[in-house]
Structure 1
């Protein structure tokens, strides 16, 4: 957002608001010098007004955004833990029958997954040892992909890329100075690390929407939502108006999640219920990552940040 500059007039008695002549005396080449009747300038003015209104009305919620985002991100891991515990025999049967896990190894696999997900989720929510919690949850994502044989499932792969993006947002939010966090990059400062992790997180978050575009039957409404959503995803990835495009995706994905992944409307005995519940909580995790992006901003490697420099 462009800075607002108040130019004071010299008061009586010889007072000067800029006694040391630090102000730039050159004429401004910014928005005020542009043609007010230009449609592009009108669009910029409208966008600036929208940003101001969003800032004003979102202020009461802003202090709570990090906690909301973190809780939503780990939602899919908490749900998965509950699913394993309540469907213990079914999980063992699948691993032993279809994945050919030996008896005993399947038990250890499930127990370690549940313990890691619960401890990692607790660390992320409480913001205590969040980095280790994120590392454990990333390990669960990778191990489950191979353990359940879903590595080559495109929809699963894209969704989990987005979940990893959400975890990277948590990692960036929790990052603090550690001298040996990267032994191979001893001169890399904390701010530099945040830039790269935020960039990776932004890019990975949008893969859920890419999966939405690639699957399902096409219609006029689906085409319209896909075009608008893809534009917002590109804006998030490059960091252009990233906060507002991420906020737009939060709204779109939340509406989509409630009306499409409405697992609560399916009978408990129906096999589709579990699939919809899985998609619902994974989408919530990605919404949580986008909420953290709204709170933190896109970081240094973004168009928004470059606009402040040039």
Structure 2
């Protein structure tokens, strides 16, 4: 985490027989099959028909991977914490020197700070992966993000701030995924449904996840390709935040961020003694965590507080 300090549906379907010959598969027909885009009455209907068709293709071809998406997403979200814990352990003396020399930590406090971060990140990450006490584990990892921000003096760094907002969004997605449909009752108060709470955490997670891409937009030198990718990515980010075609836009961002991560944060191509390697590795694993949160969004959907869900009602 922050301890990376280098010391050196369209129109309703018309009535028809869904399976006149008894040969249908188990998957129900989707909306786009009832609309011929070439015969649609308006551009909006054509666009709606084509977008629904794309969603259908994504749904069909992602079926083999879909059962594994929650596990993959959880692992990717915590991989940056695991890598950070490993790096602290392998650079223990350098970390102590930085905290004591530059951050003015007393001798014992510096040791306790590092030990607390390492133990918390390893234990909580393992709990998230194994789905044990996930709510407590996500809160512990959230505390690590905050503590490290203040401990290493990076809380007011804009790049750090935007990236860690996205990591927090990923943790909110894990928290939402761990919630079950139960109701907590308190004397004299209305019952509070976990489903209702889940909607709000999903909304917060969706919004926070996009801050990594916003950080990418405001940094670096501009080119025609960068402008094009930024505009397309920004549209996808807004779609994720408001929950419009959220699964499609989240899947699109997964592809974009994954490609960008491999190309721009290729730390393996930098010599181990070079100071840039640590920063590239930091960016690489944090981007993996945001990709994990987007995968959970693809799996769970945007939740009740979204345009997609409101369209089902109206």
TM > 0.5 between the two?
yes
Counterpart CA distance in 2 for 1:114 and 1:217 is 36
Q: CA deviation at 1:45?
A: 1.6
**Could you say which residue in structure 1 is the equivalent of 2:226?**
222
Q: TM-score, normalised by structure 2?
A: 0.87
Q: Deviations over 1:191-218 (max 9, x none)?
A: 1101100000000000001111111111
User: What displacement does 1:158 show?
Assistant: 0.4
Determine if the alignment matches structure 1 residue 304 to structure 2 residue 311.
Answer: no
Q: Please tell me whether residue 295 in structure 1 is matched to residue 296 in structure 2.
A: no
Deviation at 1:8, TM superposition (A): 5.2
Q: What displacement does 1:190 show?
A: 1.1
Q: Distance in 1 between matches of 2:180 and 2:57?
A: 33
The answer to whether the aligner puts 1:158 opposite 2:162 as a matched pair is yes
The answer to whether residue 173 in structure 2 is matched with residue 169 in structure 1 is yes
1:79 deviates by: 0.4
**Structure exhibiting the larger radius of gyration computed from Cα positions:** 1
1:61 paired with 2:75, answer no
Q: What is the CA-CA distance between 1:51 and the residue it aligns to?
A: 1.1
Give yes or no for contact 1:170–1:289 (8 Å, CA) kept in 2: yes
Q: Quote the residue 2:30 is aligned against.
A: none
Match of 1:14 in 2: none
How far is the alpha carbon of 1:188 from its aligned partner?
2.3
Q: Secondary structure at the residue paired with 2:180?
A: coil
Q: Distance in 2 between matches of 1:137 and 1:79?
A: 13
Match of 1:110 among 90, 99, 114: 114
Shift of 1:185: 7.8
- Alpha-carbon contact 2:183-2:192 (below 8 Å) kept: no
Any gaps of 5 or more consecutive residues in structure 2?
Answer: 1-8, 19-33
| Structure 2 match to 1:78 | 82
Point out where structure 1 has 5 or more consecutive residues left out of the alignment: 10-29
Give the whole-Å Cα distance in 2 for the aligned partners of 1:277 and 1:283: 10
Shift of 1:282: 0.2
Alignment TM-score, normalising by the size of structure 1: 0.88
Per-residue Cα deviation, 1:265-303 (whole angstroms, up to 9, x for no partner): 000000000000000000000000000000000000000
Aligned equivalents of 2:217 and 2:73: distance in 1? 24
Does residue 187 of the first structure (1) align with residue 191 of the second (2)? yes
CA offset at residue 181 of structure 1? 9.8
8 A Cα contact 2:149 2:155, kept in partner = yes
Q: What do the CA deviations read for 1:63-115 (whole angstroms, capped 9, x no partner)?
A: 00000000000010000000100000110011001100011110010000000
Q: Which residue of 118, 122, 129 maps to 2:126?
A: 122
1:211 to 2:210 alignment: no
CA contact (8 A) 2:99 2:152 kept: yes
Q: How many residues align?
A: 290
